[in-house]
C-alpha cells in the first residue's frame, strides 16, 4: 500500500443518459432512460432524474416504463458514446502512462507514475483539474475518487457522485470501511453477500471480527483470504495500462423470437461478418469461434470450435459459426444470438485448409471469459430509431422522438441551440435522412453557454 492517495478512479455520471441530455436541449433536467426499447429490452443507463422514480441499470425496460411513464426512452448510440469516451481517455493519458480503462465511462489512473501527484494536495489538484478539463472538452461531468489503492479509489468515486470529488486519506481506510455493507467490497455479489448474511456477517467490520480462518471456512481458501485482506483495507493491485482482451464478440437481442431456421442461419452469418469487422479493426485474429444462443425459455447455450491457426477471414468464421449452429436446437425460438472469436493473436494463419478442420468444444452454459461485447438491440422493420440523429433538407438537424403507423416525429435541435420544435413526417419523406451525431462542444468554444445541468437536482419531468 502506498502512503499517498495517488490512485485516481474516474466514473462519468450517468454517462449514456447525460450524453443524450447534453445532445438534446429539450431533455435537459428531465428523466431520460437509455436501453433496448423492445418488450425484452433492459435499461443501460438512467439519468439522475429517472433514478428518483426507482429506475436503474439492468432493470427490464417494461418495469422502467411503469415506474417512470413520462421519461424519454432512447435507443443507445454506441458510436457517439465511444467518441466521447476517447476524448476522456485522452485526457487521462495526459496525466499518466498508466491508465486502466474498465469501460467506456470508467478508468483507474496512477497519478504517481505520471508525475501528476505525489501527495494528498497534489492529487486533489490533479483531480480538480481533470474534472474541469472533462467539462470543457465534452460538456459532461465525471466523479473522481482518490486513494492509496484501487479499491478505495473506486469507493471514493461512488461517494462523490454525482459531479464530485472525494479523497480518502491514507490511515483512515479501516474506519471508513467498517460500517459499510459487505457488498461494497470487490467480488462480493448477491450470492456471496447472502452467504455472509446467513452467517451473521453484514458489514465490513463484522468480516474483520469474524477473522480470516472463518472467512476461509465459509468461502474457500482463495476467496476467503482475498476478502479478508480487502476488509482490512489491504489492496496491492497495480494500475495496469493495457488489459488483455480475451475475446471479441457481437450480440443481437430480438424483439420477437425467431422460429425460422433459415432466418436464424442468416442472422448468424451477419453476426459473423460484424464480428470479423471488429476483429480486423482491432488488428487481431483468433483461433476459437464461439456461438451463443439464448432460446425462448431463457436457456443459454454456448458452443465453440478451435481452429489450428488464428484467422480474421470472414468466410472461415461464417463457416465455423454455421457448423456450430447445426448442433443447437432452435425449434422453440431464439431470442438472442451472438458470435465471438477468442484465442486472440496479432497475426493470421493463412492456411485455410488447416483452419477448416477444427476441434469442436462445448462450453455448455454461459462462458466466463472476459469479452469485449458489442450488443445491438435489433428493432425489426423500423427505419427511424428513437433518439437517433436525422437531417432534414429544410429544417436541419434533429433527432427521432418516435415512429409508427407510417409516420416519424422529429425534434429539430442541436447541442448548442434552444429546445427545438417538433414536426411529423411520412416515414418515406425524401427530404429526411439518417445523420451523424453532432459534437457536444464546438471546437474552440469551450463549454457551450447552454451546457445542461446534468442531474445535480433531480426532479419530476
Query: Catalytic residues, which ones?
Result: 106
- For 413, the 3-state DSSP assignment is coil
**Cβ contacts of 62 within 8 Å, gap of 6 or more:** 39
Taking a C-beta distance cutoff of 8 angstroms, is the pair 143, 157 a contact?
yes
Secondary structure class of 443 (helix, strand, coil)? coil
All three cell numbers of 450: 447552454
Q: What angle do CA 250, 252, 258 make, to 5 degrees?
A: 140
Render 77-89 in DSSP notation, one character per residue. -HHHHHHHHHHHH
Contact 241, 98 (CB under 8 A): yes
| β-pair partners for 415 | none
Beta strands at 247-258 and 106-110: parallel, antiparallel or unpaired = unpaired
Q: Which residues contact 121 (CB under 8 A, 6 or more apart)?
A: none
Residue 227 main-chain phi, psi, to 5 deg: -70, -40
Which set of grid coordinates corresponds to residue 226?
A: 482475498
Which residues touch 124 (CB under 8 Å, ≥6 apart)? 146, 165, 167
Separation between Cα atoms, residue 131 and residue 189, nearest integer Å = 30
Nearest alpha-carbon partner for 296 in 336, 338, 339: 336
List, in order, residues 6 or more apart from 442 with CB less than 8 Å away: 416, 448
Euclidean distance between CA atoms 270 and 254, whole angstroms: 14
> Rounded to 10 degrees, what is the CA torsion of 43, 451, 417, 88?
-60
The DSSP call for residue 150 is: H
Structure-block grid coordinates of residue 16: 449514456
Instruction: Return left, alpha or beta for 90; rule: phi > 0 is left, psi -120 to 50 is alpha, else beta.
Output: alpha
Cα angle 375, 378, 384 (rounded to 5 degrees) comes to 120
Q: Nearest 5 degrees, angle CA 313-CA 317-CA 320? A: 140
Sheet holding 359-364, edge to edge: 359-364, 300-311, 285-295, 334-345, 247-258, 372-378
Amino acid at each position: 500500500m502506498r502512503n499517498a492517495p495517488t490512485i485516481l478512479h474516474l466514473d462519468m455520471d450517468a454517462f449514456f443518459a447525460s450524453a443524450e441530455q447534453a445532445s438534446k436541449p429539450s431533455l435537459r433536467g428531465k428523466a431520460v432512460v437509455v436501453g433496448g426499447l423492445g418488450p425484452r429490452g433492459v435499461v443501460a443507463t438512467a439519468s439522475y432524474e429517472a433514478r428518483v422514480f426507482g429506475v436503474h441499470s439492468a432493470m427490464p425496460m417494461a418495469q422502467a416504463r411503469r415506474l417512470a411513464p413520462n421519461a424519454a426512452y432512447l435507443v443507445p448510440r454506441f458510436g457517439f458514446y465511444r467518441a466521447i469516451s476517447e476524448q476522456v481517455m485522452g485526457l487521462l493519458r495526459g496525466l499518466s502512462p498508466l491508465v486502466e480503462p474498465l469501460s467506456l465511462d470508467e478508468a483507474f489512473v496512477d497519478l504517481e507514475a505520471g508525475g501528476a501527484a505525489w501527495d494528498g494536495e497534489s492529487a486533489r489538484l490533479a483531480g480538480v483539474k481533470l474534472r474541469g478539463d472533462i467539462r470543457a472538452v465534452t460538456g459532461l461531468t465525471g466523479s473522481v475518487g482518490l486513494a492509496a489503492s484501487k479499491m478505495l479509489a473506486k469507493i471514493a468515486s461512488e461517494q462523490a457522485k454525482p459531479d464530485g470529488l472525494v479523497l480518502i486519506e491514507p490511515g483512515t481506510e479501516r474506519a471508513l470501511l467498517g460500517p459499510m455493507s459487505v457488498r461494497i467490497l470487490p467480488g462480493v455479489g448477491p450470492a456471496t453477500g447472502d452467504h455472509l448474511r446467513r452467517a451473521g456477517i453484514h458489514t465490513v467490520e463484522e468480516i474483520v471480527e469474524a477473522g480470516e480462518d472463518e472467512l476461509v471456512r465459509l468461502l474457500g481458501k482463495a476467496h476467503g483470504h482475498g476478502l479478508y485482506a480487502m476488509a482490512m483495507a489491504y489492496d496491492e493491485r497495480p494500475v495496469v495500462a493495457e488489459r488483455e482482451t480475451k475475446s471479441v464478440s457481437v450480440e443481437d437481442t430480438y424483439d420477437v423470437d425467431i422460429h425460422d431456421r433459415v432466418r436464424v442461419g442468416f442472422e448468424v452469418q451477419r453476426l459473423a461478418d460484424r464480428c470479423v469487422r471488429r476483429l480486423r479493426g482491432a488488428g487481431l485474429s483468433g483461433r476459437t469461434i464461439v456461438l451463443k444462443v439464448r432460446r425462448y425459455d431463457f436457456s443459454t447455450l454456448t458452443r465453440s470450435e478451435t481452429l489450428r491457426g488464428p484467422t480474421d477471414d470472414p468466410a472461415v468464421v461464417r463457416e465455423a459459426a454455421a457448423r456450430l449452429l447445426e448442433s443447437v436446437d432452435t425449434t422453440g425460438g431464439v431470442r438472442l444470438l451472438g458470435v465471438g472469436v477468442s484465442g486472440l493473436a496479432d497475426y493470421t494463419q493463412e492456411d485455410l485448409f488447416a483452419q477448416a478442420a477444427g476441434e469442436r468444444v462445448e462450453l455448455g452454459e454461459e462462458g466466463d471469459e472476459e469479452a469485449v461485447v458489442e450488443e445491438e438491440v435489433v428493432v425489426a422493420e423500423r427505419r427511424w430509431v428513437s433518439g437517433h440523429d436525422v437531417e432534414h433538407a429544410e429544417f436541419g438537424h434533429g433527432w427521432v422522438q418516435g415512429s409508427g403507423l407510417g409516420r416519424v416525429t422529429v425534434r429539430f435541435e442541436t447541442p448548442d441551440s434552444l429546445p427545438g420544435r417538433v414536426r411529423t413526417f411520412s416515414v418515406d419523406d425524401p427530404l429526411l435522412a439518417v445523420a451523424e451525431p453532432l459534437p457536444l462542444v464546438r471546437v474552440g468554444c469551450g463549454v457551450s453557454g447552454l451546457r445542461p445541468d446534468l442531474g445535480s437536482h433531480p426532479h419530476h419531468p
